[in-house]
Amino acid sequence: MIVELRNPERTVEMDGPMAVMALLARLGIPRESVLVIREGTLVPGDAMLGREDRIEIRSVISGGAR
């Protein structure tokens, strides 16, 4: 699978299939700090990712008015 990471931007190739949580563990990324997106849709942590998937991992950003 192709994994596109943001901040810093980079692309890595990973063997699949594997669960989202396993992918994040291999990349050393805490689940609560990112959004995992496949084909424009958020993917839950227990979902399986396929060998041919293209995944985007974006950092969670929060903020708001005071």
Q: Could you give all domains of the chain from N- to C-terminal order, each with its CATH number?
A: 2-59 (3.10.20.30)
- What is the Cα 38 distance to its own chain's centre? 8
pTM of the model: 0.85
- CA dist 52 → 3, 30, 64 (Å): 11, 24, 37
Q: Which tens digit of pLDDT belongs to each residue from 9-29?
A: 999 999 989 999 999 999 999
Q: Which residues are within 8 A (CB) of 28 and not within 5 positions of it... i.e. 6 or more apart? A: none
- Distance, CA of 21 to CA of 55 (rounded, Å): 13
The overall average pLDDT reported for the chain is 92
